[in-house]
Amino acid sequence: MGSAGSASRRVWSALKILLLVCVLVAAGYLLYPVWRAAHPTPPDLTVRYRTDPTAVVAVAKPQLEVINTSKKTVSLSDVTVRYYFTADGGSAYGFDCVDAAMGCSNLSGTIVPLANPTADATDYLQLTFAAGAGTLAPGANSKGINLQLFRLDHQNLNQASDHSFNAKDTTFKPSKLVTAYLRGALAWGTALPGGADSGAAGQPSGAPTPKQSVPDGVVFDNFHYSGPTDPALIKHGWRIRTSKGGPGIPDTWSAAGVSFPAEPDALGGQVLQLQAATDGTKEHTTQAEVQSANTPFLTGTYAARIYFSDAPTTGNPGDHVNESFYTISPDDSLYSELDNEYMPNGGWGSKGPVLDTTTWFSAKTGDRSTLRHNISLQGWHTIVMTAVNGVATYSLDGKDLFSSSGKYYPREAMVVNFNTWFVDLPFAGPRAWDTKVNWFYYNAKQAMSLADVQKTVTDFYGDGTNYVNTVPKP
């Protein structure tokens, strides 16, 4: 009996222990949600946001930081960020990157209409990153990504109703009104209710398609700027000429003729517009020029899609107006210039319409190799110039027009210029001439065909790339 009682006591003790374990497990199961709510899993990413407090502005200026709050290194090319807003007045919107620690060349932005708009969001700006943006170690911060968002009709916008806008966030603070995805999974922020966040192309699933990596020696710009005073224009290496001198009517260069309007016939829907205007007097004449700065352009491929005008936008026709795309160096012993000058009504004694293609050896002595083409360029055209292996070639819409070689070949770094100016002022009366530039592309490493240029440019537009510059600084 003693042995049997001892065994019973041991069984009962085991049962009590098992029962206690079951009670603790059940209690733990019931209390886990409470504990989890009090101890949430840290997000993999955190997005911090700041902005200027004024709601009604010409340009919205969200600034963002992406912080890796996980315990693993994160590639920025695996990250997608969304900023939500309400498009005012039915206008199309544009964006540009003013500055970013990883470089605006490594950032792309696409404006996406929501499939299910809400009261405070009809669209979002989606940001993706190239491999060149690098990685974030645990705890690392991308540093400030300085953006601009604006209406393409250049009217003021009202951010008060924008989902991601918070006038109180004038210093960087975590904002769950901006979402971030890591390899397609929501990693930060609160998705819009009812699947509204799905967007026109659907909710991100799997790894996002990153912005394409761009090789060294490439410049691309589609001129998505809010206006001539846009700080991104200067950051991206463009200058609007207001200095004295020629060509054309001396000392009449003005920023008044430079704008970035919406254009339905342009890729991306926006262009650089250069307007020359006059009433026939020097006093009331303005000419327009945009030129590059800080980038050493020399050999390789230059390309631009340009709208040339055979008639003024306003006023009577007949001006000897010059619509130009060219590269030029300082006027010194190694002078270099590749020149396309279109004059719809001619100039300097020639009849129009005429396109002059010219490679200069010396502007001081007029030493140049040139060919004149009696053709009308009214409308959109793509000009490609190549300077490779001692030969400079000019082409129009894929057709070679002219080549030069020997001493008529670039010898030193040049700047890129687009301008519209008057050769002279033959008559009175107000009139204005417009030239438009859709995009500019440069590749320092090779001569490219029109087809190759167009494919590259189409790819840039496809992944939301507005600007790239991977040419090493001098």
pLDDT tens sequence across 404-429: 999 999 999 999 999 999 999 999 99
- Is 192 in the same domain as 337? no
Residues 442 and 453: their CA atoms lie apart, in Å, by 9
459 located within any domain? yes
Task: Tell whether the model's pLDDT for residue 352 goes beyond 60.
Answer: yes
- Is 238 in the same domain as 141? no
User: Which one of 198, 232, 257 terminates a domain?
Assistant: 198
The helix/strand/coil state of 473 is coil
Which tops the pLDDT comparison, 37 or 20?
A: 20
Sheet holding 185-188, edge to edge: 107-118, 121-129, 79-85, 178-182, 185-188
Task: Tell whether the model's pLDDT for residue 7 goes beyond 70.
Answer: no
Locus of tokens 């210029």 = 417
162 located within any domain? yes
269 located within any domain? yes
Q: Which of 26-40, 263-277, 368-382 has the lowest mean pLDDT?
A: 26-40
User: Which one of 169, 198, 227 terminates a domain?
Assistant: 198
76 located within any domain? yes
29 located within any domain? no
Q: Which of 8-12, 420-424, 470-474 has the lowest mean pLDDT?
A: 8-12
Residues 302 and 443: their CA atoms lie apart, in Å, by 7
Task: Tell whether the model's pLDDT for residue 96 goes beyond 70.
Answer: yes
Residue 201 — pLDDT band, cuts 50, 70, 90?
A: very low
* Domain containing residue 270: CATH number: 2.60.120.200
> In this predicted structure, what is the pLDDT of residue 306?
98
Task: Read off the pLDDT of each residue in 445-461 and give the average, rounded to a whole number.
Answer: 97
| C-alpha distance from residue 255 to each of 231, 288, 356, 421, 470 (Å) | 14, 7, 26, 13, 28
- Is 286 in the same domain as 145? no
Residues 6+ apart with CB under 8 A from 44: 68, 69, 70, 74, 182, 187, 188
Which tops the pLDDT comparison, 350 or 297?
A: 297
Letter string b/e over residues 455-467, b meaning 16 or more CB atoms within 10 A of that residue's CB: ebbeebeeebbbb
Task: Tell whether the model's pLDDT for residue 114 goes beyond 90.
Answer: yes
Residues 80 and 109: their CA atoms lie apart, in Å, by 10
> In this predicted structure, what is the pLDDT of residue 192?
86
Token pair listed for 150: 């604006």
Task: Read off the pLDDT of each residue in 134-155 and give the average, rounded to a whole number.
Answer: 96
pTM summary value: 0.89
Task: Tell whether the model's pLDDT for residue 38 goes beyond 60.
Answer: no
At position 428, the amino acid (one-letter code) is A
φ/ψ of residue 84, rounded to 5: -100, 140
Task: Tell whether the model's pLDDT for residue 27 goes beyond 70.
Answer: no
Task: Read off the pLDDT of each residue in 433-438 and give the average, rounded to a whole number.
Answer: 98
At position 174, the amino acid (one-letter code) is P
- Is 274 in the same domain as 125? no
- Is 141 in the same domain as 227? no
- Is 172 in the same domain as 239? no
Counting residues of the chain whose pLDDT is more than 70, the rounded percentage is 88
> In this predicted structure, what is the pLDDT of residue 199?
58
Residues 108 and 466: their CA atoms lie apart, in Å, by 7
pLDDT in tens, 387-399: 999 999 999 999 9
- Is 356 in the same domain as 294? yes
> In this predicted structure, what is the pLDDT of residue 4?
59
CA neighbor of 44 nearest in space, from 82, 79, 5, 2: 79
Task: Tell whether the model's pLDDT for residue 31 goes beyond 60.
Answer: no
Decide: 360 and 335 in contact? Cβ < 8 Å.
yes
Task: Read off the pLDDT of each residue in 216-232 and give the average, rounded to a whole number.
Answer: 97
> In this predicted structure, what is the pLDDT of residue 213?
80
- Is 222 in the same domain as 170? no
255 located within any domain? yes
Residues 90 and 85: their CA atoms lie apart, in Å, by 13
User: Which one of 133, 167, 198 terminates a domain?
Assistant: 198
- Is 139 in the same domain as 233? no
- Is 226 in the same domain as 187? no
pLDDT in tens, 311-323: 999 999 999 999 9
* Domain containing residue 178: CATH number: 2.60.40.710
105 located within any domain? yes
> In this predicted structure, what is the pLDDT of residue 146?
97
- Is 452 in the same domain as 313? yes
Task: Tell whether the model's pLDDT for residue 181 goes beyond 50.
Answer: yes
Task: Tell whether the model's pLDDT for residue 266 goes beyond 60.
Answer: yes
Number of domains in the chain: 2
Q: What is the pLDDT of the chain when averaged over all its residues? A: 91
Task: Tell whether the model's pLDDT for residue 300 goes beyond 70.
Answer: yes
430 located within any domain? yes
- Is 291 in the same domain as 239? yes
> In this predicted structure, what is the pLDDT of residue 137?
97
Domain encompassing residue 66: 45-198
Task: Read off the pLDDT of each residue in 228-241 and give the average, rounded to a whole number.
Answer: 97
